[in-house]
Amino acid sequence: NAGVTQTPKFQVLKTGQSMTLQCAQDMNHNSMYWYRQDPGMGLRLIYYSASEGTTDKGEVPNGYNVSRSTTEDFPLRLLSAAPSQTSVYFCASSEVVGRYNEQFFGPGTRLTVL
């Protein structure tokens, strides 16, 4: 199993450009998540999906969009990039293990918006 994969690993955008960060998992997990990591702030949830066809906003959804048309894929779209979206983005998927949800994280995408 490849686990959770993310592409690209690095990306530089100009302000106003749009792009999609790709995330895929091959573990047949129902739930998937997008986080951003900024220095000194830990990870913050952008969007999550409890199952194929469903999505919901997290703590910091503005400027992003997601869809979940398959179990495996959970792309994150930046609609009009802004310098404030410079960050490291992590995708995760999770499976229920007894009484908790174990999340598995991808390697991350480092995004710079100029």
Partner 1 sequence: ELKVEQNPLFLSMQEGKNYTIYCNYSTTSDRLYWYRQDPGKSLESLFVLLSNGAVKQEGRLMASLDTKARLSTLHITAAVHDLSATYFCAVEGRGSWGKLQFGAGTQVVVTP
**Interface positions with partner 1 (CB under 8 A):** 31, 33, 35, 40-45, 48, 50, 58-59, 90, 94, 99-108
Q: How far is the CB of 43 from partner 1 (least distance, A)?
A: 4
Q: Which is nearer to partner 1, 24 or 108 (CB)?
A: 108
Burial of residue 18 (number of CB atoms within 10 Å: 0-12, 13-18, 19+):
exposed
Q: Cβ 75 to partner 1, closest distance in Å?
A: 18
DSSP string, 9-33: SEEEE-TT--EEEEEEESS--SEEE
**Closest distance between partner 1 and the C-beta of residue 58, in Å?**
7
